[in-house]
């Protein structure tokens, strides 16, 4: 039994954290709002060069051959800086899906090689979202239709841009017509792959929400320490101190379910529904609480466009609704618990079966 | 106990409803359900004309005594007016700061000259007001005012220097009531004055503050040698805090009761979407909708209860209005979260660019300010504990 990350995993996460901190700032995000695509191709190339977009691709297919547990800390760091580039969806959802399809479909193998080299980009749709993120910069799209998954080039689909409350995000409805030609998986295989994608997407959203929560707590603590009212820092008041403490507790306690979910996904993905839903629910609660109390601690200042807090709040609200909203995941927890064979005994907490 | 309005009040309700039905038409049709919280920047010109339309019907200052041009309505009738106003979807009032705050304060504390100079414009809906309270260093600690008013003997006028912030409607307003320090050596709530300041003058500059909604309902107001006539201070120099606090009681009083109908409109819209998109089948959503509904009932019942005790002479409207702010603000914030959750992933799509929010999206963002402005939840709890329960005060050093 070891619930810790290896030194290598921690070191890697630390390096990525430093890189992201230097490259992705509230100022750089604000600049991206003024750019038509909202994206920075140079930054993306750097992420590709670091191997991050192909981290979960097996070495035999040109990737780093790592797994969800290796990636979860990085996803957390992406959330901490509110990274707008679609790294988490590409690395955690799209490339594993292509990896699974590559052995029997050459197009997927070729595309995977291009993605790994940074020569192509991909967007991934799912029924849980309806909307597709970053479809405008994708060369290819993986799109679901019932039990089928289709692979289409961007010129084979029509994109209807939807402006987003989070000014960093680029959302699209995609209109498309599939054919036998474009179908890369169907039937039981399609269902299983779509289910796996949902869990990976939810894990990525949960991890980012933890990073966002920590970023908002840090900002709020800093503000409460510097803002003087009644002759002292407002953070000296228990009313605010306790709110921040509650956020810290909620966020810290959401990490264990998050890492547990990453572990199960990496070992036995077909049995990860409960762990993933648990992680998504508690990470969402932590992020939304940090947004709520962070805003409260900042007072009217946090309500301004000029102050950076809303960048993080809006991302938290958005991710909470994607890859299955809280209600969806709570219902999955209920269903799992009410299953007559649910493994809920005292001896069933750990082990990949649980 | 008698849980109904009198026949006379019901007739009054009918009168209000009929007037609104007959007048909220034509060019005002598009104002329906607009101009409320989160939407206050919309259609200012049309809403100014609407204010004058209301004035023509005698509806701008329903609670004011008749001698000042008001309608002399009882508290019950005022509540009925606000309810019907919201039920009809009539727009957010550009004149509410004058009618609800400045006017009642001038009636209570103003001189005869101030009453005849300022009240008619408010009643007629032709002169709009804004509120100069908060400053960068005076938020929750409202008494920490740095804006200064110096009396210029030669010119027989006050000269005002300083900065106010979070000022709603400052760009539309003709006047601002300003708390400023008249005694330069004073601290906290001593040595303040309450001034009625003309906005259209060289010494006053207004700059918008962009909010997380993308819009700028709030402003910064800079006073750089702004002038105020000697006769335009309400109360004596040094009495400003007393006047300012009495005004806050108006803010926390009857004028907030009618908002329950607006809340009901919002909840109805959310329930409608939940039924349409299937979210209503989600047990977690159903529970929250039921909770929102029952808590709105609590607010409604409590409003009636407050009115009753007012009638019995207990005079506790203000005591109970004290606990109302935190309840409605927190409820409303939760309603914003419920709205987004009911809409799911599609809650993220703007109505149209650039940054044009739908009514419910604007609600979801704006309600974040509800638990902050007019006294944060934390300040409200202090007030309830200290003033309501008599608990020991925190020690504040300055």
B251, B295, B351, B394: the catalytic one is B251
CATH number assigned to the domain covering B252-388 = 1.20.140.10
**Which architecture characterizes domain B7-94 according to CATH?**
Orthogonal Bundle (1.10)
- CATH number given to B129-240: 2.40.110.10
Residue A203 forms part of a structural domain: yes
Give yes or no for residue A300 having a pLDDT over 50.
yes
Residue A160 lies in a domain: no
**A305 with B282: Cβ contact below 8 A:** no
- With an 8 Å Cβ cutoff, is B282 touching chain A? yes
Task: Find the helix packing angle between B75-87 and B259-277, rounded to 10°.
Answer: 30
Q: Name, in order, each residue with C-beta under 8 angstroms of B192's C-beta and a sequence gap of 6 or more.
A: B143, B145, B179, B180, B181, B182, B186, B238, B239, B240, B241, B244
Q: Is the Cβ of B377 closer than 8 Å to some Cβ of chain A? A: yes
* CA B217 – CA A118 distance, rounded (Å): 45
Which of A165, A229, A325 lies at the smallest CB-CB distance from B350? A165
The reply to whether B378 belongs to the active site is no
**CATH number, residue A264:** 1.20.140.10
Closest CA to A73 of A223, A241, A201, A203: A203
- Whether residue A325 and residue B350 make contact (CB cut-off 8 A), yes or no, is no
Q: Going along chain A, which residue ranges are E strands?
A: 122-124, 132-133, 140-145, 148-153, 158-162, 171-175, 183-185, 228-229, 232-233
User: How many residues belong to chain A?
Assistant: 354
- Domain boundaries of chain B, sorted by first residue: 7-94, 129-240, 252-388
CB contact (8 A) between residue B348 and residue A166: yes
For position B320, what pLDDT does the model report? 66
CA distance B76 to B89: 20
- The predicted-structure confidence for A51-68, as pLDDT tens digits, reads as follows 999 999 999 998 999 999
Q: Is the dihedral of CA A314, A315, A316, A320 positive or negative?
A: positive
* Nearest CB neighbour to B140, from listed A229, A305, A330: A229
Task: Find how far residue B295's CA is from the centre of its chain.
Answer: 21
Instruction: Please return the burial class of B248, using the count of CB atoms within 10 Å of its CB with bins 0-12, 13-18 and 19+.
Output: middle
Contact residues, B window 310-329, toward A, CB-based 8 Å cutoff: none
Q: What is the DSSP letter of B187?
A: -
- Asked whether residue A142 is domain-assigned, the answer is no
The alpha carbon of residue A336 and the mean position of all alpha carbons in its chain are separated, in whole angstroms, by 23
Structural tokens at position B164: 């106010």
Q: Is residue A311 part of a domain?
A: yes
Asked if A26 is an interface residue toward chain B (Cβ–Cβ < 8 A), one would say: no
pLDDT, one tens digit for every residue, chain B (398 residues): 777 889 999 999 999 999 999 999 999 999 998 888 777 878 999 999 999 999 999 999 998 999 999 999 988 898 889 889 988 999 999 999 999 999 999 999 999 999 999 999 999 999 999 999 999 999 999 999 999 999 999 999 999 999 999 999 999 999 999 999 999 999 889 999 999 999 999 999 999 999 999 988 899 999 999 999 999 999 999 999 999 988 876 665 566 666 888 899 899 999 999 999 999 999 889 999 999 999 999 988 887 777 666 654 444 455 666 788 899 999 999 999 999 999 999 999 998 878 888 889 989 999 999 999 888 999 999 988 888 888 898 776 65
Residue A294: closest C-alpha in chain B: B368
Interface test with B, best of A159, A167, A229 (most B CBs within 10 A): A229
Contact B349 A171 (CB under 8 A): yes
Least trusted range by pLDDT, from A92-96, A270-274, B56-60? A270-274
What is the domain extent for residue A250?
Answer: 192-348
Nearest-angstrom CA–CA distance, B234 and B109: 6
Nearest to B341 by CA among A327, A39, A193, A292: A327
- Beta-strand relationship, A228-229 and B175-181: unpaired
Asked if residue A62 belongs to a domain, the reply is no
Q: List pLDDT tens digits, range A138-148.
A: 999 999 999 99
Tell me which chain B residues have a C-beta less than 8 angstroms from the C-beta of A237: 378, 394
Domain count, chain A: 1
* Helix, strand, coil abundance in chain A, percent, nearest 5: 65, 10, 25
**B392 touching A, CB under 8 A?**
no
Q: Does B210 touch chain A (CB under 8 A)?
A: yes
Which 348-367 residues of chain B touch chain A by CB within 8 A? 348-350, 352-357, 361, 365
Closest CA to A283 of A313, A255, A309: A255
- Shortest Cα distance from B361 to chain A (angstroms)? 8
Q: Assess whether pLDDT exceeds 60 at residue A254.
A: yes
pTM confidence score: 0.91
> Does residue A98 lie in a domain region?
no
Question: Is A127 a residue whose pLDDT tops 50?
Answer: yes
* Residue B210 phi, psi dihedral angles, 5° rounding: -75, 135
Shortest Cα distance, chain A CAs vs residue B379, angstroms: 9
Candidates B227, B239, B147; CA nearest to B184 is B147
Q: Does residue A36 sit within a domain?
A: no
Q: What digits encode the pLDDT tens for the residues A302-348? A: 999 999 999 999 999 999 999 999 999 999 999 888 888 777 777 77
CA of A194 vs chain B CAs: smallest distance (Å): 18
Q: Angle B291-B292-B295 (CA atoms, 0-180°, nearest 5)?
A: 80
Mutate to test the interface with A, among B134, B141, B146, B212 (most CBs of A within 10 A): B212
Asked if B348 lies within 8 A of A164 by C-beta distance, the reply is yes
Measured between beta carbons, which residues in chain A are less than 8 angstroms from residue B283? 327, 331
Give chain A positions within 8 Å (CB) of B371. Answer: 296
Question: What pLDDT digit, counting tens, does each position of A128-174 carry?
Answer: 999 999 999 999 999 999 999 999 999 999 999 999 999 999 999 99
Say if A33 falls within a structural domain.
Answer: no
Smallest Cβ–Cβ distance between B376 and the set A296, A322, A327 belongs to A296
Determine contact: A314 vs chain B, CB below 8 A: yes
Burial string for A121-130 (b: 16+ CB within 10 Å, else e) reads bbbbbbebbb
CB contact under 8 A, A163 and B354: yes
Enter the tokens of residue A260: 């547990």
Q: What is the mean pLDDT of residues A11-17?
A: 96
Q: Please compute, for residue B18, the number of CA atoms within 13 A of its CA located in the half-sphere on the CB side.
A: 6
- The yes/no answer to whether this complex scores an ipTM above 0.95 is no
- Residue A334, min C-alpha distance to chain B (Å): 11
């Amino acid at each position: 039994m070891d619930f810790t990350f290896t030194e290598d995993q921690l070191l890697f996460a630390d390096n990525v954290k430093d890189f992201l901190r230097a490259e992705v700032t509230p100022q750089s995000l604000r600049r991206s709002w003024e750019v038509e695509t909202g994206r920075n191709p140079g930054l993306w190339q750097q992420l590709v060069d670091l191997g991050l977009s192909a981290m979960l691709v097996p070495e035999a297919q040109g990737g780093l051959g790592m797994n969800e547990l290796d990636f979860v800390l990085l996803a957390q760091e992406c959330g901490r800086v509110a990274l707008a580039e679609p790294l988490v969806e590409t690395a955690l959802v799209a490339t594993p899906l292509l990896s699974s399809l590559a052995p029997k479909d050459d197009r997927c193998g070729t595309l995977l090689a291009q993605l790994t080299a940074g020569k192509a980009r991909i967007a991934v749709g799912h029924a849980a979202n309806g909307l597709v993120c970053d479809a405008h910069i994708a060369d290819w799209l993986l799109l679901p239709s019932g039990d089928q998954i289709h692979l289409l080039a961007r010129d084979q689909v029509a994109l209807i841009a939807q402006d987003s409350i989070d000014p960093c995000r680029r959302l699209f409805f995609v209109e498309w017509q599939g054919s036998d030609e474009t179908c890369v998986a169907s039937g039981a295989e399609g269902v299983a792959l779509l289910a796996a994608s949902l869990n990976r997407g939810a894990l990525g959203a949960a991890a980012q929400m933890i990073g966002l929560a920590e970023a908002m707590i840090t900002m709020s603590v800093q503000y409460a320490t510097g803002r003087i009212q009644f002759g002292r820092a407002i953070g000296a008041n228990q009313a605010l101190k306790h709110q921040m403490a509650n956020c810290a507790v909620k966020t810290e306690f959401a990490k264990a379910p998050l890492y547990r979910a990453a572990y199960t996904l990496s070992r036995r993905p077909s049995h990860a529904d409960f762990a993933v839903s648990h992680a998504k629910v508690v990470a969402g609660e932590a992020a939304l609480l940090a947004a709520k109390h962070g805003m409260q601690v900042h007072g009217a200042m946090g309500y301004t466009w000029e102050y950076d807090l809303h960048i993080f709040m809006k991302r938290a609200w958005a991710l909470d609704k994607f890859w299955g909203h809280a209600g969806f995941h709570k219902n999955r927890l209920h269903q799992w618990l009410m299953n007559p064979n649910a493994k809920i005994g005292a001896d069933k907490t750990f082990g990949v079966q649980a | 106990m008698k849980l109904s309005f009198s026949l006379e009040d019901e007739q009054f309700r009918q009168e209000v409803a009929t007037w609104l039905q007959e007048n909220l038409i034509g060019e005002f049709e598009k104002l329906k359900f607009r101009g409320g919280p989160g939407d206050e920047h919309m259609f200012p010109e049309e809403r100014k004309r609407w204010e004058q339309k209301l004035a023509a019907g005698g509806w701008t200052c329903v609670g004011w005594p008749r001698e000042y041009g008001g309608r002399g309505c009882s508290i019950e009738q005022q509540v009925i007016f606000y309810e019907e106003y919201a039920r009809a979807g009539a727009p957010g009032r550009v004149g509410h700061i004058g009618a609800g705050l400045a006017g009642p304060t001038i009636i209570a504390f103003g001189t005869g000259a101030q009453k005849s100079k300022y009240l008619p414009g408010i009643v007629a809906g032709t002169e709009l007001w804004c509120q100069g309270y908060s400053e960068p260093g005076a938020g929750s600690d409202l008494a920490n005012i740095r804006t200064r008013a110096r009396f210029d003997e030669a010119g027989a006028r006050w000269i005002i220097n300083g900065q106010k912030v979070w000022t709603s409607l400052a760009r539309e307003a003709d006047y601002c009531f300003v708390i400023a320090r008249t005694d330069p050596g004073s601290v906290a709530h001593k040595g303040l004055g309450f001034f009625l300041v003309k906005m259209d003058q060289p010494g006053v500059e207004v700059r918008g503050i962009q909010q997380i909604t993308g819009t700028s309902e709030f402003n910064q107001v800079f006073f750089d040698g702004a002038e105020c006539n000697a006769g335009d201070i309400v109360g004596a120099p040094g009495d400003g805090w007393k006047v300012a606090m009495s005004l806050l009681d108006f803010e926390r009083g009857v004028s907030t009761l009618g908002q329950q109908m607006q809340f009901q409109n919002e909840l109805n819209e959310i329930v409608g979407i939940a039924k349409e998109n299937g979210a209503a089948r989600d047990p977690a959503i159903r529970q929250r909708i039921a909770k929102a509904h029952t808590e709105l009932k609590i607010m409604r019942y409590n409003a009636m209860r407050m009115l009753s005790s007012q009638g019995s002479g207990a005079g506790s409207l203000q005591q109970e209005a004290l606990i109302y702010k935190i309840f409605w603000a927190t409820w409303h914030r939760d309603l914003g979260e419920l709205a987004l959750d009911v809409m799911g992933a599609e809650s993220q799509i703007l109505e149209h660019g650039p940054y044009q929010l739908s009514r419910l999206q604007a609600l979801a963002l704006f309600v974040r300010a509800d638990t902050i402005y007019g006294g944060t939840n934390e300040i409200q709890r202090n007030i309830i504990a200290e003033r309501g329960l008599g608990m020991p005060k925190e020690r504040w050093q300055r």
